[in-house]
Structure 1
Amino acid sequence: MKKLSVLFSFVLLLFLANGVHAQQSDTYFVGKWDILIKGLPQGDTEALVKFELKDGKLTGSITGKADQKDMPFTDVALKDSVVVVKFDHSSGEVEMSLLKKDADNISGQVNGQFNLTGVRKKED
């Protein structure tokens, strides 16, 4: 079962690797998201993901809640209900895919290995 999951993740990432850039009309991901990345070597990790539209393009960053280190996205590719972002981390370049589940929830993976879940952060 685990091999099937890894194979599915690999195929999904290959499909997304075509690098389709964000469409101007899609604003679903815009805002702040509380995410939980599960199963990392240092344990489950919480982070805040921020997306915004700049000059009609989707941009953003990820901030670890523990260390408060803000890492801007170096690449953002959007296709249908999936966005793939890349950012530089102390361990190297990281690729994260986020899939729209419903109005306020996302799921995804980091480097095709670690699952994540996310919830849209409500503004105060």
Structure 2
Amino acid sequence: MKQVIILFSVMIMMMITLLPCKLSAQTNSAIEDFFVGKWDIVVQGLTNYDINLSVDIKKIEGEIKGEISMPSFGVTGVELQGITIADSTLAVNTGAIGFDMPLILTKKDEKTLTGSLMGFPFESVRSDQK
């Protein structure tokens, strides 16, 4: 009987220890899934022009990958490097036009992003219907 009590106690301690890990993984997966898709972005307020961007985020074998295109600069399909997701924010540095440009995307609601490119703010809606 003593062995059963010890075994039961160990099982309860394992459940208490592992349950938060499972919940955290589910939450992170849900926010990753939100970012997956195509997003059209217009960065306004620059001195001489607006920047049009297209960002395509994919989840391949559980890993977040992405590409950025900047049609006004003749740049298409540049792979995003160093994607990080924390809370409701995706951050990446992209070298789409020859130098690092920090791109920050933050979930506003289920169909809208806010963010910044090199410190210039923008708001974006999903261009594909998920």
Q: What TM-score comes out, normalization by structure 2 length?
A: 0.69
Superposed, 1:91-106 pairs within 5 Å as 91-106=98-113
Larger relative contact order (CA 8 Å, sep ≥ 6): 1
Task: Give the RMSD, CA atoms, in angstroms.
Answer: 1.7
Residue in 2 that maps onto 1:69:
75
**Rounded Cα–Cα distance in structure 2 between residues aligned with 1:42 and 1:49:** 23
**Rounded Cα–Cα distance in structure 2 between residues aligned with 1:57 and 1:85:** 14
Residue in 2 that maps onto 1:86:
93
Superposed, 1:1-124 pairs within 5 Å as 23-25=28-30, 26-70=32-76, 71-111=78-118, 113-123=119-129
Does the residue aligned with 1:89 lie in a helix, a strand or coil? Answer: coil
Instruction: Give 1:67 shift.
Output: 3.5
**Number of aligned pairs?**
100
Question: 1:73·1:87 contact (CA, 8 Å) conserved in 2?
Answer: yes
Q: What code does the residue aligned with 2:59 have?
A: L
**Rounded Cα–Cα distance in structure 2 between residues aligned with 1:80 and 1:68:** 33
Q: Which runs of 4+ in 1 moved over 6 A?
A: none
Q: What TM-score comes out, normalization by structure 1 length?
A: 0.72
Question: 2:80·2:92 contact (CA, 8 Å) conserved in 1?
Answer: yes
Q: Which of the two has greater helix per residue?
A: 2
Q: Which of the two has greater strand per residue?
A: 1
Of 33-42 and 79-88, more deviation after overlay is shown by 33-42
Q: Which has the greater radius of gyration? A: 2
Of 82-91 and 98-107, more deviation after overlay is shown by 82-91
Q: Report percent identity of matched pairs.
A: 25
**Rounded Cα–Cα distance in structure 2 between residues aligned with 1:90 and 1:62:** 11
